[in-house]
Structure 1
Amino acid sequence: MYSKFQLLRKYIRYKVQSSNGKGHGVHSPFVFNFITQVLNDKRTFYSFNAIERLRDKLKKDRAVLMIEDFGAGSRVNSHYQRSIASIAHSALKPAKFSQLLFRMVNYYQPNTILELGTSLGITTSYMASANTHAEVVTMEGASEIAKVASENFQSLNLNNIRIIQGNFDETLDNALQTIPQKIDFAFLDGNHRKDPTINYFHALLPKIHEYSILIFDDVHWSSEMEEAWEYVKNHNAVTLSIDLFFIGIVFFRKENKEKQHFTIDF
């Protein structure tokens, strides 16, 4: 993991080198449309307020959970305690990016959504509420966190979410087999290490199609994650990537005859 100072230096470099966030000078019609219609959509949608009220409630919840620490490998290494408030403050994706995921789902209308890393269910809720007809499969390693997330889904009346609890290394293959159709949209936020991230990417490849969208969280969080991000975006199956610093997005659209990489200010 990079230090705060290292991350700040990288973020400043990203801001200097990134393309204009308004779409000026972007020659890809698809990316220009993504910037103008999705990235810069400033509307407050119908579910935003309810989900943000839930986030605020979680940040004040002092209930303590016993968390399994899987670490390296496929077995639980140890347990430790954390309050829900602590998890909410440190692990939840900020509203800016959670709401971007909502807008992407709302705009592209994927029917099958997969999330690796439910946490307390905030990003899950944003994606599920953006298309209530979609099947959302979300996976969480820690059983007590998964239980809280499930309660949060119920409180928001989201009935299109299926949560799978367990170590991804042991549950992902079986979970993918329970999804008969292709995966239209996936958010990978479950393991910030190079090899597991690449392994999850390869596990998903047989289930993706030309119009699938994969989002990787914290692609500049560490040197390992940057190596994983470089591997993913340069994979032969990927035709287009968008780097928003805190997340990376890849597409498989065949209309892109040559591979293109974009770094966009967001």
Structure 2
Amino acid sequence: MYSKIQLVKKYLRYLLIASNGKGHGMHSPFVFELITKILNDKRKYPFYDDIEQLRCRLKQDNRVLEIEDFGAGSRVNPTNKRKVSAIAKSALKPNKYSRLLFRMVQFYQPKSVLELGTCFGITTAYLAQGNKDAEVFTMEGAKEIAEVAKQGFQALGMENIELILGNMDNTLPKIISKFQNEHKTFDFVFVDGNHREEPTLRYFMQLLPVLNEHSILVFDDIHWSEEMKAAWHKIIANEKVTLSIDLFFVGLVFFRNENKVKQHFSIRF
């Protein structure tokens, strides 16, 4: 993984080349709509406060958990015994990006949502709020983290979330097989489960058969390390990907047939 100084340098370089995020001069109607109606939506929705209050409580929670880490580990604390507060402060996605996920789900109204990497369920709650009629599946490998997430869902009254516990190397193929047998697809997927090149690419390839033309994939931390950067570039080069958007901390992937020529954008967000 990159050091904080390396990440800052890469972010500053990204700001120099990325478009201004206002939509001016954008020739793709789809991307222009995404910028103006989703990225630049500054409205504050009533439920934001409830989820952010839960985030605050997690950051003050001194319970110690035993963690099974199936991913690339923590930048802050590599030990397997960690306080809830420490995990919440280092691992939870900032509300700026959690709310982006909500707005995307709210705007595109996917019926089936999959999240790889629940953590304490803050982003899961935002995803579930985007479309309360959607089935939201979220996967978490660490049992005690999953229990904290379930408590949060219960406190928020979230009823459209199914938490799948276990190593994603085992649980992801099972749910994919289930969807294939039922001739169903995932409309929206947030990948935040393992920040290494090989598993990230493997998840992407495994998911392709259960995606459709209008499916949206969001990859977290695409500039987190050389491995994640390499994975991102291989993903957006895939022949089935017609449009990709680099927001630096997350990357958006689309498969829309209306795009006759593959397009890639870097947009300030």
Question: What is the TM-score normalised by the length of structure 1?
Answer: 0.96
Partner of 2:114: 114
Indicate conservation of the 8 Å contact 1:120/1:152, yes or no: yes
In structure 2, what is the Cα distance between the partners aligned to 1:23 and 1:79? 44
Whether the 8 Å CA contact 1:119–1:145 is kept in 2: the answer is: yes
8 A contact 1:242–1:263 mirrored in 2: yes
Alpha-carbon deviation of 1:26?
Answer: 1.2
**1:108 Cα deviation from its structure 2 partner:** 0.3
Structure 2 residue aligned with 1:191: 194
Q: Does 1:257 align with 2:242?
A: no
Residue aligned with 2:259, SS: coil
Matched, 1:17 2:2: no
Q: Secondary structure at the match of 2:214?
A: coil
Question: Which residue among 204, 208, 223 is the counterpart of 2:207?
Answer: 204
The equivalent position to 1:215 in structure 2, one of 213, 218, 221, is: 218
Q: Are the counterparts in 2 of residues 68 and 79 from structure 1 also a CA contact under 8 Å?
A: no
1:41 is aligned to 2:41: yes
Q: Which deviates further from its counterpart, 170-179 or 47-56? A: 170-179
User: What SS is found at the alignment partner of 1:139?
Assistant: strand
The one-letter amino acid paired with 2:55 is R
**Residue-by-residue CA offset, 1:50-78 (whole Å, 9 max, x unaligned):** 00010001000000110013358xxxxx9
Retained in 2: the 8 A contact 1:238–1:252? yes
Residue in structure 2 matched with residue 99 of structure 1 by the alignment: 99
What's the counterpart of residue 237 of structure 2? Answer: 234
SS in 2 for 1:185: strand
Distance in 1, matches of 2:186 and 2:158, equals: 20
Q: Secondary structure at the match of 1:68?
A: coil
Deviation at 1:178, TM superposition (A): 3.3
Q: Matches of 2:198 and 2:80 in 1, distance apart?
A: 25
Consecutive unaligned residues in structure 2, runs of 5 or more: 73-77
Matches within 5 A, 1:133-212: 133-179=133-179, 180=182, 181-212=184-215
Q: In structure 1, what is the Cα distance between the partners aligned to 2:5 and 2:145?
A: 31
Deviation (angstroms), 1:224: 0.2
Code of the residue aligned with 1:167 in structure 2: it is N
**So what's the TM-score if we normalise by structure 2?**
0.95
Q: CA contact under 8 A between 2:71 and 2:195: conserved in structure 1?
A: no
Partner-residue secondary structure (3-state), 2:213 = coil
Q: Provide the aligned length of Structure 1 versus Structure 2.
A: 261
| Deviation of the 1:170 alpha carbon | 1.3
Alpha carbons 1:47, 1:126 under 8 Å: kept: no
Give the secondary structure class of the aligned counterpart of 2:240.
coil
Cα distance in 2 for residues equivalent to 1:215 and 1:173: 19
1:79 offset after TM fit, Å? 7.4
Paired residue type of 1:94: P
Correspondence 1:27 to 2:27: yes
Identity score, percent: 58
Deviates more, 1:252-261 or 1:43-52: 43-52
8 Å contact from structure 2 (residues 71, 193) kept in 1: no
Matches of 2:71 and 2:37 in 1, distance apart? 39
Please tell me whether the aligned partners of residues 120 and 148 of structure 1 are also in contact (alpha carbons under 8 angstroms).
Answer: yes
| Aligned counterparts of 1:103 and 1:70: Cα–Cα separation in 2 | 29
Distance (Å, rounded) in 1 between the aligned partners of 2:174 and 2:138: 13
* 1:45, distance to aligned residue in structure 2 (A): 1.1
Per the alignment, do residues 71 and 24 of structure 1 end up closer, same or farther by CA in structure 2, a change over 3 Å counting?
Answer: closer
| Per-residue CA distance 1:7-28 (angstroms, 9 max, x = gap) | 1110000001000110112110
Partner of 1:90: 90
SS in 2 for 1:224: helix
CA distance in 1, matches of 2:207, 2:161: 19
The equivalent residue for 1:246 is: 249
| Alpha-carbon distance in structure 2 between the residues aligned to 1:241 and 1:19 | 14
